[in-house]
Copies of this chain bind each other. A is one copy, B any other.
């Protein structure tokens, strides 16, 4: 890690709560493997363990083999093997039907779409018995199960702990833990945008109040951006009638004060740069390099409606219309990872995406030149290779909590590539002034911006890329964690624990 996590957060043990754990078990040919999660967040959160007096990570058993492992431990926590500080893992076997309702009906699409402003409100969502049932018999019991497990861990640890909840799957958990373990310090990081009050009005009042009251069980609620924290407070004020302070960013809940904070998440530069040097990446670089034309436009995304994939292709189409001189000179490599394939909206979206790619390619292709290369493979080595080679990276998200592709790509690129970045991403606050700004609803502006990025003076491109990379190296994931630990110390001290 470029920056080290500076210090612990007191003497309490740590409980991390996330849907996905630090390890996933697989079974092939009768052989069990335990694959450690990749990516900065898992590594960073796992690394936190070394700074606390013991740590346990509570997560869902996601694979069949996870379930087998969980049963072997009778549902209890077990030690995570491997390097690094001692970390125990407690996997929860969820009822499959409840898990589906929790994950594929309520968390996605219902909450995800609300928080990214993705509902087509004139006709969706329709809250019916199906959604009510999914909340009552999916989201609620899964949150209960997590809360119970966390409370058991805290009680086993003597009643005191710092709990770090992750994301939108667990809005009900903090309130329930607090009821059982009043001495725990509860911290919730929400990794997606928090929208304005009106966006929450799609939920029945009872449901939305349950969610808000759940989140308000925390001591600190943290986001990537000040705007999300502000929206959260505006929601508390308008939807719950609570007293908020928009200067100190706090909300009064009974006799407690809940603080909101914002810390932009980041990546682990060393880990990423090391991964980019692997032979597998080099092979991809060679192949992609041999296929490339004069200019390469790249996008790397989960195939999610928030990512604005359709408008990105329309903008590329418009640019080719406006600049016929680019014919046969530019390719748009789109590395999309299919996502949430059990959710109808995602299936439809990927289908629309493929059709649009065919349409644009059909319109512009020539003998031997395919303007858009759509790849749904999602191999991260290929992603790293493409990061090295792009001339312009397109991140045009409709709304995006942070967008780590923007941060990863500028560390790895070797061609003075230009970051073209949506103003509606969390990353824009840090990198926007060195990026080419994209207005995500404006096709013409995106087409013009793409063209200006492709034809930008090389020296200016170099300066922009270096500036972006320097910012990401400075604001790395260790800094993100350190700032949260500082909050834990600060707000934990403000409200002394009972003796």
Contacts and interface: CB of A to CB of B under 8 A. Distances in A.
Contacts of A199: 117, 196
Interface stretch (A162-170, A307-315, A382-390, A485-493): A307-315
Given A195-B198, A205-B439, A314 B122 contact: no
A243 to B, nearest CB: 13
Interface in A21-38: none
Interface of A: 117-118, 120-123, 125-129, 132, 195-199, 201-205, 227, 234, 238, 246, 305-306, 308, 310-311, 314, 318, 349, 352, 398-399, 423-424, 439, 441-445
A117 B198 contact: yes
A140 to B, nearest CB: 17
Nearest to A314: B126
A226 B180 CA distance: 40
Contacts of A117: 121, 198-199
Contacts of A197: 196
Nearest to A352: B123
Contacts of A318: 128
Contacts of A198: 117, 195-196, 399
Given A123-B352, A127-B442, A201-B441, 4 more contacts: A117-B198, A118-B122, A126-B443, A204-B445
Given A122-B118, A349-B122, A445 B127 contact: yes
Contacts of A311: 123, 126
Taking the full assembly, how many copies of this chain does it contain?
A: 2
Nearest to A202: B441
Contacts of A203: 441
A56 B352 CA distance: 52
A122 B306 contact: yes
**Among the interface residues A123, A132, A201, A202, which one has the most CB atoms of the partner chain B within 10 A?**
A123
17 contacts: A118-B121, A120-B120, A120-B122, A121-B398, A121-B441, A122-B305, A123-B310, A126-B314, A128-B443, A196-B197, A201-B424, A202-B441, A204-B442, A204-B445, A205-B439, A234-B234, A246-B246
Contacts of A125: 441
A443 B122 contact: no
B129 A444 contact: yes
Given A122-B349, A197-B196, A398-B122, A127 B443 contact: yes
A492 to B, nearest CB: 31
Nearest to A120: B120
A366 to B, nearest CB: 25
Given A121-B117, A121-B118, A196-B198, A126 B441 contact: yes
A118 B318 CA distance: 26
A442 B206 CA distance: 12
Contacts of A444: 127-129, 132
A350 to B, nearest CB: 12
A123 B440 CA distance: 11
Contact of A238 (B121, B227, B310): B227
A122 B440 CA distance: 10
A159 to B, nearest CB: 40
A308 B122 contact: yes
Contacts of A445: 127, 204
Contacts of A234: 234
A242 to B, nearest CB: 15
Nearest to A311: B126
A395 to B, nearest CB: 16
**Among the interface residues A127, A310, A398, which one has the most CB atoms of the partner chain B within 10 A?**
A127
Contacts of A120: 120, 122
A310 B124 CA distance: 10
Contacts of A238: 227
**Among the interface residues A128, A129, A314, which one has the most CB atoms of the partner chain B within 10 A?**
A128
A327 B127 CA distance: 24
A440 B445 CA distance: 35
A399 B126 CA distance: 15
A111 B342 CA distance: 35
A197 B129 CA distance: 33
Enumerate the 9 nearest inter-chain pairs by beta-carbon distance, A residue then B residue, closest first. Answer: A120-B120, A196-B196, A122-B305, A127-B442, A202-B441, A128-B443, A126-B443, A204-B442, A127-B441
B439 A204 contact: yes
A316 to B, nearest CB: 13
A308 B199 CA distance: 16
A120 B398 CA distance: 11
A246 B302 CA distance: 40
A412 to B, nearest CB: 29
A310 B310 CA distance: 27
